[in-house]
Structure 1
Amino acid sequence: MQNENRKIHLDFHTPYWVKEVGQQFDAEKLVKVWKNAHINAATVVFGLCACGNAYYESEHAPVHPGLKTDMLRELLPAAEREGITIYVHFGPGINDRSVVEHPEWAMVCESGRRLDTNGGKEWGWACFNSPYVTEWFYPQLRDFVRQFPQVAGVFLDMVTYPRDTCYCSHCRTKAVELGLNIHQPSDLAKLWEHTLESFMAEARTIVKEANPDMGFTSNCRWFVGGARSKSLDSIELEAPVSWNSYHYAVMSRYIRNLGIPHNAQTTRFPKNWGYFGSLNNEVQLKYECATILATLGAICIGDHLPASGKPEQAVYDLIGTAYEFVKDREDWALDARTVPYIAILADYQQMVRGDRAEDFGHQAPESLYGAGLTLLEGNRHFDVIDAQHELEPFKLIWLAENVSLDEAMSVNLDAYVYNGGKLLVTGGGLWSSTLWRSWLERVAKVRWLGNACEDGEFFQPVEQIAKDVPSAPMFVKGYFPRWDVYEGAAIVAEAYRPYENIPPSQRYGHFHAPVGEKASYPGAVRAAYGAGEVIVCAAELARDYFRIGSKHVRQSVLNMIDALLPFSEQTVEVHAHSPSVEVSLMEKEGMWVLHLTQYSAKRHTGNTVIEEVPLRYDIPVVLRPQQPPKRVYTVPTMEELEWSWHDGEMRCTVPELHIHVMVVVEW
């Protein structure tokens, strides 16, 4: 990724009714603008835009009727002369022109409404089970790769199904063939997965037949399990912080563990793609670049070229400033690997888009994101893994309200804990599985009595996990599992019933009843198993932290982690005492690189906005590598740090943090 680490994604979604397209396009000038902005690669939307148009001359492609020049053929030689790598974007999912010309190809909602642009007011979605793919998309892609075998790769956009789709006749027929009930959310998700994987496999075959070295990737495949698609040569995680403050931070820590090339994509827009007449704040764009450097390394910034084909200079002044910031840091960030420490073991996800928990046949996204936020805002270095990852390298694994974790993992987890690993289990989802329940009872030394019938109880840490947590029971939604505790297990949190056992579903004032008597069953139990230890916690703390954000819930989790992993066993400690400092510990040949990134959003009513980031000073850091360092310094300042080494601990103090700093420890 060294030569493609400062990329742009050049959108050019131009409706077919625009009369003048590309009349001011000058490939030589555009490439010079890119070069001055430190850009070394670009994905251009000249193959097939979301409006359904191509921007190169062809007898087979749906060329934009207003196109004044062959934009792609002009760009390729100009970019090659300047050493800028070109990828080409194809938009099969959203394709206005195809569904306007063929309404019968449009995706259909359960209500019967067709996603056929609604007279140009909405995007048009073509169904992947319709003749659209064989009669429209595949022929164009096949013609394109034969004409342009020199492009570095093909990027497919919006390979997904939007919420409440698709119930067209083609999908109904396919569902019957597969034995699926299209009205069941889990079956609908299986239909989507089958359809999209088949589509991508065929598209990949078309690309590779033209040029086996041409790259192939797609967005919308970032979810746990989906990112392992065998069709993908690389992963490009699209996640501007303006969408939200947690998606990228969590999913990047999954993507970086998959062993395939990856980068991350944000945009120059403060709201979202294509919001013309707006520029991201410089500080925000630098922050986003910093979080990418700290996790995935290579960066892509999105722009949208106006219909005239003339770039906006102010846009590339901004991008150039951000990429100058990146150039000062990238040598220590590219091609780095995470240092295994704490892992969130996630369920494989399906592409169900529903707001209700019961729509998910797996761990709820709120639980996965909540677990990630808990660790992120607790200044902990962590990763997200799935059932195909090795467990042994990690010192602690968190099962955060899992529901459908592969039962074969119980064997792997048994060996992991028995041989010295530490395990934290929150929530009651896995206790409903006979196999998981039997294993959890054995390692935690409890007997399951059933899950609570009410959605929510009170949780109060005790003893060693009560540090900095008020002595007031916390209400947590979810169905608490109830246990008898056997000899050898210790209660580390109590459960409390609502006042007079009033169920949470019964409105009491604004919400639920206040706390009542202590329950006869515990809130959390700690037990040794072989050389390892486990804490099982009845409360869905990860999901609650996502929903409510109480620092006391976060602290309860951190206390349980610290109880299982005493400081002498912790790989990294960052004493920032602030939820705004993000920690990521990476390694390269002969060094560890500790990234500290400062997050600071302003009050807002819509998208996330970062306008300024305050300076932080004198942050104590402790690292426990396998050997003493020879040199410790900061990047990009190259300041040599004073450090000490004693009993396997390297201690130093980071003098200043503004947006991003790296502490480099060389052996």
Structure 2
Amino acid sequence: TPYINYVEEQTIEVLEKFGDQVDGLFFDIIFQNPCCCNYCIEGMLKEGLDPEDEKDRKKYATKIVNEFKKRMTSIVRKHNKDCTIFYNAGHIGPAIRESLDTYTHLELESLPSGGWGYDHFPITVRYAKNLGKEYIGMTGKFHKSWADFGGFKNQPALEYECFMSLAHGAKCSIGDQLHPTGAINKATYELIGSVYNQVKEKEAWCDDVEAVSEIAVFTPEAIRDDGIRLYPSVRGAYKMLVESHYQFDIVDEEMDFSKYEVLILPDIITFDTKLQNKVNEYIQNGGKVIFSYKSGMDRQENEFIIQGTGIKLVGDAEYSPDYVVARDAVKNGLLDTEYVMYDRGLWVEADKDAEKLAAIWNPYFNRSYKHFCSHNQTPVEKDSGYPAIVKKDNIIYFAHPIFSMYYKHGMRAYKQLFINSLKLLLEDKIVESNAPTTAHINVNYQPAYGRYVAHILHYIPERRYKLIDTIEDVIPLYNIELKVKLPKAPAKVYCAPSMEELDFSYDGKYAKLIVPEVKGHQMVVFEHTL
């Protein structure tokens, strides 16, 4: 539309007026929903697209946004060769790949109390950090979201959001919004300064780091186009792994799987030929895979097409909810009983040489107007004859959507079944700790210094109120046992930024120590002699 010409003219005016003083341009709200205005209908018809077809409308909208980015970057570079350029859409996901070359860096807008939630940044940054661009975590000083004048975030919440950025190797950005008078609000910058003073002390151990990861979680965003930013399956996998202190990234089909010991395909990762070949190659080269529900099927969901899975599709499970009984290999931490699976799974047949780690048990009947029992699901009756979890060589399959179920229903048994299964494939995890499930532990490597840095964060977001997630209290942890897998013995171990040295032992694989106190955020540094 002519609006793009208007934005171009504005941009040129700014660049010509301020010249080299322009150190960066931030284009906000750069996304386009499918549109049927006169301009878009005319454009679609010229492209041979059908304005009445939703897929064609989406395709054209994406094309317009990407063309806008390329056009604006070209215009900016004609007037300024060095300024930064960023196009904000409130989320960074695989869709950015088509226009990634138009960005100088990535800014991950994520205001937890403003609609993004506390899962958004730590999931998104695990993807964005592997795109080859400098990246920044962007939050706000607001109690709620943008334009929340007079609303101030609790300091512990702002600390957590900034320190989480540091723990993932991201720079920090705290957004404010200027009053119409142009006057700076003193209290706002006292709040921001109280956090940034701490950031300044920590920066030396957070610059130019590489994540140390053992697991890759494949994002459904890479294969689906339905506008969902955080799929329940990814949120469930994220929660299981973070609560169990595993080190992991979020990946798409363009990333290198070979650097990860385990690849997780959560619930709905169906395959085209390209992804099928890539996963099969990963398995052939010794990679280990956990997949669940309809993951590993062809796009039409007719059959499983991962090599060597040891399973064959029968169809949807006849009963739902149904139950799972764990066998000894995945029973650790579970009661000797049947656990309800709230969402419908699949029935599969296992090869004779595959190991059945858990069984599906049926209820007496499906609850309906014809017959029911009490207030909820029908009680368990008998073994269905179908497996719930199957292991063959380095591949494990869950017949239920275990990851989205954990996110939706929060039953600890789902996480325990997954973690017990994961341990069968990954015996030596990077981090072992007795820290509670509310603690986040991230390990980074700083190549310039030859040192590893373990970040322990213990802030607990709460939904105390109807619409707001926030953090009010910092609850310290004391005498936390920490083991970190390292390639060689460190020369010394200390807390940063206090520089307090810690006693440790090294057994040829793990450095083991006690962290005396974690008050919100503690970095533990493992120095090696370069």
Residues 10-69 of structure 1: CA deviation (Å, up to 9, x unaligned): xxxxxxxxxxxxxxxxxxxxxxxxxxxxxxxxxxxxxxxxxxxxxxxxxxxxxxxxxxxx
CA distance in 2, matches of 1:182, 1:512: 45
Instruction: Give 2:297's aligned residue.
Output: 431
After TM superposition, give the deviation of residue 413 of structure 1 in Å. 2.1
Distance, in Å, in 1 between the alignment partners of 2:42 and 2:318 is: 40
Change (3 A) 1:184 1:551: farther
Residue number among 368, 379, 384 corresponding to 1:519 in the alignment: 384
1:550 is matched with which residue?
411
Task: Report the Cα offset of residue 351 of structure 1.
Answer: 5.8
| SS of alignment partner, residue 144 of structure 2 | coil
Following the alignment from structure 1 to structure 2, what is the Cα–Cα distance between the partners of residues 434 and 264? 38
1:509–1:574: structure 2 CA closer, same or farther, 3 Å change rule?
same
The AA in structure 1 aligned to 2:422 is I
Partner of residue 626, structure 1: 487
The 2-side partners of 1:527 and 1:635 are apart by: 44
Contact 2:223–2:269 under 8 Å retained in 1: no
Residue 160 (structure 1) aligned with residue 31 (structure 2): yes
CA 1:580/1:231 → structure 2, altered by over 3 Å: closer, same or farther? same
Q: 1:519 to 1:593 in 2, by over 3 A?
A: same
Q: Deviations over 1:493-517 (max 9, x none)?
A: 2112333244799987555434343
Pick from 302, 322, 330 the counterpart of residue 195 of structure 2. Answer: 322
The CA RMSD measured in Å over matched residues stands at: 2.5
Q: What is the one-letter code of the residue matched to 2:247? A: H
* Cα distance, 1:455 vs structure 2: 6.3
Q: Which residue is 2:226 aligned to?
A: 352
What corresponds to 1:579 in structure 2?
437
Task: Give the partner amino acid of 2:434.
Answer: H
Comparing 139-148 and 582-591, the one that deviates more:
139-148
Report the equivalent of 1:486: 351
1:601-612 pair list within 5 angstroms: 601-602=461-462, 603-612=464-473
Equivalent residue letter for 1:651: K
Matched, 1:592 2:452: yes
Partner residue of 1:118? Answer: none
For residues 188 and 476 of structure 1, what CA distance do their matches in structure 2 show?
39
Once the two structures are overlaid, the 10-residue window that deviates more, 206-215 or 535-544, is 206-215
Q: 2: distance between equivalents of 1:309 and 1:505?
A: 68
Residue in 1 that maps onto 2:211: 338
Say whether the 8 Å CA contact 1:268–1:319 is kept in structure 2: yes
Q: CA deviation at 1:177?
A: 4.3
- Return the TM-score normalized by structure 2: 0.91
Tell me the distance in 2 between the aligned counterparts of 1:506 and 1:148: 75
Name the residue aligned to 1:143: 13
Whether the aligned pair in 1 keeps the contact of 2:361 and 2:384 (CA below 8 Å) is yes
The answer on 1:382 being equivalent to 2:232 is: no
- 3-state SS, counterpart of residue 408 of structure 1: helix
CA shift for structure 1 position 659: 1.0
CA distance in 1, matches of 2:32, 2:485: 46
Q: 1:183 to 1:644 in 2, by over 3 A?
A: farther
Report the counterpart of residue 443 of structure 1 in structure 2. Answer: 308
Residue of 72, 83, 86 corresponding to 1:217: 86
Corresponding residue for 2:285? 419
Specify the alignment match of 1:271 in structure 2: 144
CA distance in 2, matches of 1:471, 1:501: 24
Task: Report which stretch shifted further, 513-522 or 635-644.
Answer: 513-522
TM-score for the superposition, normalised by structure 1:
0.73
Q: Give the unaligned 5+ runs of structure 1.
A: 1-129, 355-362
Q: Is the 8 A contact 1:226 1:349 kept in 2?
A: no
Question: Does the Cα contact within 8 Å between 1:455 and 1:479 map onto a contact in 2?
Answer: yes
Secondary structure, aligned partner of 2:297: helix
Task: State the secondary structure of the residue aligned to 1:403.
Answer: coil
Distance in 2, Cα, partners of 1:546 & 1:343: 18
Residue 274 to residue 217, structure 1, CA distance change in 2 (3 Å): same
Code of the aligned partner of 1:143: E
CA contact (8 A) 1:190 1:350 kept: no
Instruction: Name 2:60's counterpart in structure 1.
Output: 191
CA deviations over 1:300-355 (Å, ceiling 9, x no partner): 0011111111101111111110001101111101211111211102231666347x
Query: Residue 209 and residue 457 in structure 1: after superposition, are their counterparts in 2 closer, same or farther (change >3 A)?
Result: farther
CA contact (8 A) 2:296 2:304 kept: no
Q: Using the alignment, how far apart are the partners of 1:260 and 1:505 within structure 2?
A: 59
Q: Tell me: CA distance 1:405–1:174, structure 2 relative to 1, closer, same or farther (3 Å).
A: farther
**Which piece of structure 1 moves more, 400-409 or 504-513?**
504-513
Deviations 1:133-165 (A, max 9, x none): 12x222222222222332112111011236xx5
1:172 is aligned, of 26, 30, 41, to: 41
SS in 1 for 2:347: strand
**What whole-Å deviation, never above 9, does each CA across 1:157-200 have from its counterpart, x for those lacking one?**
011236xx533233334444445555665554433322211111
Q: Deviations over 1:453-488 (max 9, x none)?
A: 666543333222222223443444555232221132
Q: Deviation digits for residues 52-111 of structure 1, max 9, x if unmatched?
A: xxxxxxxxxxxxxxxxxxxxxxxxxxxxxxxxxxxxxxxxxxxxxxxxxxxxxxxxxxxx
* Aligned ranges 1:4-403 → 2 under 5 Å: 130-134=1-5, 136-150=6-20, 151-161=22-32, 166-178=35-47, 180=49, 186-220=55-89, 222-228=91-97, 229-242=100-113, 243=115, 244-347=117-220, 348=222, 352-353=226-227, 365-403=231-269
Equivalenced residues, count: 519
What corresponds to 1:639 in structure 2?
A: 500
Check the 8 A contact 1:336/1:588 in 2, yes or no: yes
Question: Given the superposition, is the C-alpha separation of residues 192 and 349 from structure 1 closer, same or farther in structure 2, using an over 3 Å criterion?
Answer: farther
Q: CA–CA distance in 2 between the matches of 1:420 and 1:638?
A: 41
- Aligned pair partner of 2:398 in 531, 537, 546: 537
List runs of 5+ in structure 2 lacking aligned partners: none
Show the counterpart of 1:461: 326
Contact 2:90-2:110 at 8 Å conserved across structures: no
Q: Cα deviations across residues 616-646 of structure 1 (Å, max 9, x unaligned)?
A: 1122111222111111111122111111111
Which shows bigger deviation, 193-202 or 585-594? 193-202
Q: Contact 1:263–1:300 at 8 Å: present in 2 too? A: yes
TM-superposed CA distance for 1:377, in Å, is 2.0
Query: Distance between the aligned counterparts of 1:434 and 1:452, measured in 2?
Result: 18
- 613 and 405 in structure 1: CA distance in 2 versus 1, 3 angstrom threshold: farther
Distance 1:540 1:304, change over 3 A: same
